[in-house]
A and B are shown apart, each in its own frame.
Chain A
Amino acid sequence: MSMEVEYLIEQLQKKAERGELLYIGESLNRVDDIEKILGKPIYTADILPKQTLYAKLVHSTIPHGYIRSINAANALNNSKVKAVLTYKDVPGINESSAVIPDRPLFADRKVRSTGDIVAAVLANDFRAATEASQDIKIEYDPLKPIFDPLEAMKEGAPLIHDAGNVAKHMKVYKGDVQKGFEASDIIVEGTYSTQFQDATPMEPELAYAVPKENGNILIVGSMQSPHITQSGVAKALNLPLSRVEVIQAVTGGAFGPKSDETPTDLGAIAAIGALKTGRPVFVNMTREDSMIMHTKRHPSITKLKTGATADGKLIASQAEMIMETGAYASLGVLVIVRAMFHANGAYEIPNVKNDGYLVYTNNTFAGSFRGFGAPQAFFASESQMDELAKKLNMDPLDLRLINMLRPGKRTSTNQLMDAACGLPECVEQVVAASNYRKKVKEYAEQKGNTRRGVGIAILHHGNALGPEGNDYVYVHLNVDRDGIVYLGTGLTEYGTGAISGLAQIASSIMGCKLDRFRIDRPNSLKHKESGPTVASRTTAIGGNGARDAAEKLRDRLNTVAAKLLDCMTSEVVIVDDIAYSSSAPQKRVGWNEIVDEAYRSGVSLNTIGYYMAPRCIWDEHTGLGSPYSQFTFGAAVADVEVDIDTGVYSVRSYYVAFDVGRAVNPRNVKGQLYGGTVQGLGYATMEELVHKDGRVLNPNLKDYYIPTSLDIPEEFVPIIVEKGGAIGPFGAKVVAEPPIVLPGPAVRNAILNATGWSVDSLPITAEKVWREGHK
């Protein structure tokens, strides 16, 4: 046997002793990376069918009011304009919403925000469509708008929706919070606020529709969840699902807003236009359109009160969070649930009372966005921990060490932490890497205008959908005659590399090389519906589907290989494209020989894997129970430098440790730690979508700031901790979302450490720091 094979076998044996497989835990290249580097992938707008019409959406010009009339006559006079679509053109149900049916596809009777779509102009080119869109005359009877969620909650406030301005009230009640406060030696109270954040995926939302000869409609677009788009379009077009084929094109970033309404809006409008005109229709979106229309991160106002004993033991925590959802509820009804489950931080606290309200306003709407309520919740809870530490005259780290979740401790919902709770390891490692203790001592001595400071923040993050829906997945695997393996699933790749991770899992189990894998373009008619590609669930949930499919194929491959090797199936080892018998490893057969033999003997190498996460049990009235099957844990330390006179500061270093259970691909995990942190630093320090009178003031990348390479800390240390979880493949936990959560409180606490100033609202602009210091 060659040296290489000997080595691989040795590696395999070592891993097998740990119950693992060859490629698990290896930083392999992604299946699609070379293609992407070479610029080969075809994105939605790259190649459009011949005769495609371009659609430009027309948004409401007022934030709240009734539509009196829509007059498209002038626009239709333009010979390039082929059609103008409004609610009257919707053949099915005029609705595009996520959970509560509160949002029409085209505004009909009423408009509730300047992001509402009133019409779509279809023309031969985008310029003509854009110009003609200004010729649509819409008359409104304005209603009094509300832009402040606190105003919206008041009795007698104008109703944005008939059912009232509070879309959801979510509670977590444990113990007796009143008694808890009475028993406390020290109580701190504070109000923490956060802003609208835009996800700014590199590619805006786009979709085109093609009418097919068989009466089907084909939709190609940039999206996270093709099956959500399929069912939304089918509903709007009054078509059976089987006639709506949705293909996810290669997608340039998503972060949440591409999972729900917006891709459905675009798909449905393109499809309605395509059926009406008989031509393909492309709904083009500029950056401005995208930033006005798609869902953003909910702004929040959180009143938090914490009680502790004099020696720093937490006794009670009460949170009231007002989360602004804008004009429509979208997934906010679930965002507020996650926010409330995490609102008291990663601590054991015996008495808890959390009330979360999802409130409508006439601003543009909020919804899914990386973090899903956790960034708002932890900004409040982790900020308050440092205020408490200050009052207790205790180091913030020590306060956390006393109270944080560990094996045997219970969360706010009373969920028991088992051995998979790696929070103590995360804290220990991030404290060591950042030299936290030493820096705290050094920085305490500072005088002068430039001050350094360190801040720590920790979290737990309930994995995958949990209370947000049934967590199931299907993964298709098909080995062709050439030995190429096609992996298909309704879950999508949009930049994280997670789908490549599924291939890594499958290849490990099947024993073939990763570069044999090809990823099918997700297609709603070809692949089974697998839930949305959200909640960082692709590896933790999808990986189990890939494992199931791969194990089914591996059984068949073993049978075929046993025949070729003349051994028992239990003796077959297949690794890295080579099969041999563990009893007689000298004889080997290659991958293609096995595949050939399978085809010759009629053994199907085409299968579907399935996985469904265990149901999470919790009480809807009290919020108590176990809403998640497993948790990710994380800790971060930020080291900042503040200019006292101006409030200008920079994050000099950032250290972060995450317990990801098992890193299937450590390089990809680090990619998420980097990317999530940078997007979280944007949220912490500069990003803010500003509404004025219901209109977005800065829907462009000139006025909406996201970090550039010059804004990233000089030193960035990512650390992976592995405490295998209960459900993910090989113990894997989710990682894509949680890193975005920590920069907000870590930076805020570092500034507090440097200056003694508490900035309780995001983003922490230099002006806010300055104001805090010059009150």
Chain B
Amino acid sequence: MTEVLMPNTLAEALSMISKDGHDVLILGSGSDVIPRIREREIEPKKVLDLSGLGSELNYIRTEGKVIRIGALVTVRQIIDNELFKGRLDAFLQAGRMFGGPQIRNMATVGGNLGAASSSEDLIPIFIALDARVKMASIDGDRLVPVSKLVVAKRQIDRRPNEIIREIYFEMPDESSWTAFFKAGRRNSLIIDLINMAMYLKLNIDGTKIEDIRIALNRVRGKTPERAYKTEEYLRGKRIENETIARAQEVLDSEVQLSSDFRASAEYRKSLDKVILARLINNCRDRIVEGRRTGN
């Protein structure tokens, strides 16, 4: 029998897992967890249902440059929020192809981070934004850079007495843009062959890449990571065909992918390279366009 804990406040929730948190599975909307329980992939002794914490954990807030997203914000809320229309385009790109409509309505940001399964499209975007995850516990909050959050497939840096409270990042400035792309074998409800999120900032006169962060669902291991070498190569470069071609080579040597029945490693790599070029050009074009139209 599974015991279901249903706290009404975050404080209550945190005290419920202050001891013996090992046994507790935390449930946001259940879009990931419930099917796994039904299939008996996991058999938690206790489930902590956060659905009663909407007033505390469901918010999208701007504080100066910082955007804070509460753990219970749904993918649908992100897609519908004006804040994400523009430089945070990556979220819209990911959101449109995130699961199906029902999943988008249910799935939460916290759940996406917590599940850390191979189909969690938001994590690479947060990595590209260099976001921080705020873990809450009765001992206080702890910050984890999202790039260090996922330690293995379905395993994150969360202590047993912690709950993901929020994730936050700086809004990219007007010289920057974000983009996302995923490829699969159909148009929805897929396990990605590859995905890539990018944050790109141009220098003041718009001629060179001032900063770039590239996150992929797979680089070397089985967790989302940044393509640091490719980023390093691109930083300070002019966006020209030759530069991009060279960056593709760097990416090619940087990623180590494996084959499975969905696609070969070779094809995945070729997709990575094409998408790299497209996202760079897309970000550049949108920044330039934004400058021209004053957005």
Contact = CB atoms under 8 A, between A and B. Distances in A.
Asked if A and B bind, the verdict is yes
Interface string A687-730: 00010100001100011010110110000000000000000000
A771 B270 CA distance: 10
A774 B191 contact: no
Contact of A697 (B187, B190, B261, B267): B261
Given A645-B274, A707-B186, A708-B187, A767 B261 contact: no
B187 A710 contact: yes
B261 A711 contact: no
A710 B99 CA distance: 12
B185 A765 contact: yes
Interface in B174-189: 183, 185-189
A612 interface: no
Given A646-B271, A708-B100, A771-B267, A698 B187 contact: no
B264 A767 contact: yes
Interface string B252-295: 00000000011110010011001000000000000000000000
Given A697-B261, A703-B191, A774 B186 contact: no
Nearest to A644: B274
Interface string A416-443: 0000000000000000000000000000
Contacts of B262: 703
Interface in A632-660: 645-646, 648, 650
Contacts of A648: 183
Interface in A727-775: 765-767, 770-771, 774
A686 interface: yes
Contact of B188 (A685, A690, A708, A770): A708
A686 B270 contact: no
Contact of A767 (B188, B190, B267): B267
A440 to B, nearest CB: 27
A774 B100 contact: no
Contacts of A690: 261
A45 to B, nearest CB: 16
A705 B262 CA distance: 10
A249 B35 CA distance: 28
Contacts of A711: 186-188
Given A646-B183, A767-B263, A708 B270 contact: no
A686 B186 contact: yes
Interface string B181-223: 0010111111100000000000000000000000000000000
Interface residues of A, number: 23
A710 B188 contact: yes
B116 to A, nearest CB: 17
B153 to A, nearest CB: 15
A702 B264 contact: no
Contacts of B191: 702-703
Interface string B75-115: 00000000000000000000000001000000000000000
B186 A708 contact: yes
A774 B186 CA distance: 22
A774 B187 contact: no
A650 B188 CA distance: 13
Contacts of A697: 261
Contacts of A692: 261
A770 B186 contact: no
B183 A774 contact: no
Contacts of B270: 646, 770, 774
A282 B271 CA distance: 48
Given A645-B274, A646-B274, A774-B270, A705 B261 contact: no
Contacts of A705: 185-186, 190
Contacts of A707: 186
Contacts of B274: 645-646
* Residue with the greatest number of chain A CB neighbours at <10 A, chosen from B185, B262, B264, B271: B185
A673 to B, nearest CB: 21
Contacts of A650: 187
A708 to B, nearest CB: 5
B260 to A, nearest CB: 9
A775 to B, nearest CB: 12
A698 B263 CA distance: 14
Contacts of A646: 183, 270-271, 274
A774 B185 CA distance: 19
A642 to B, nearest CB: 13
Contacts of A685: 186
Contacts of B263: 765, 767
B182 to A, nearest CB: 11
Contacts of B186: 685-686, 705, 707-708, 710-711
Nearest to A702: B191
B271 to A, nearest CB: 6
A766 B186 CA distance: 10
* Residue with the greatest number of chain B CB neighbours at <10 A, chosen from A698, A765, A767: A767
Contacts of A766: 183, 185, 267
Given A646-B270, A648-B183, A708-B187, 14 more contacts: A646-B271, A690-B261, A692-B261, A703-B191, A703-B261, A705-B190, A708-B100, A708-B188, A710-B187, A711-B186, A711-B188, A765-B263, A766-B185, A770-B270
6 contacts: A703-B191, A703-B262, A705-B186, A765-B185, A766-B183, A766-B267
Interface of B: 100, 183, 185-191, 261-264, 267, 270-271, 274
Interface of A: 645-646, 648, 650, 685-686, 690, 692, 697-698, 702-703, 705, 707-708, 710-711, 765-767, 770-771, 774
Q: Which 8 residue pairs across A and B have the least CB separation, nearest first? A: A710-B187, A767-B267, A690-B261, A645-B274, A710-B188, A708-B188, A705-B186, A686-B185
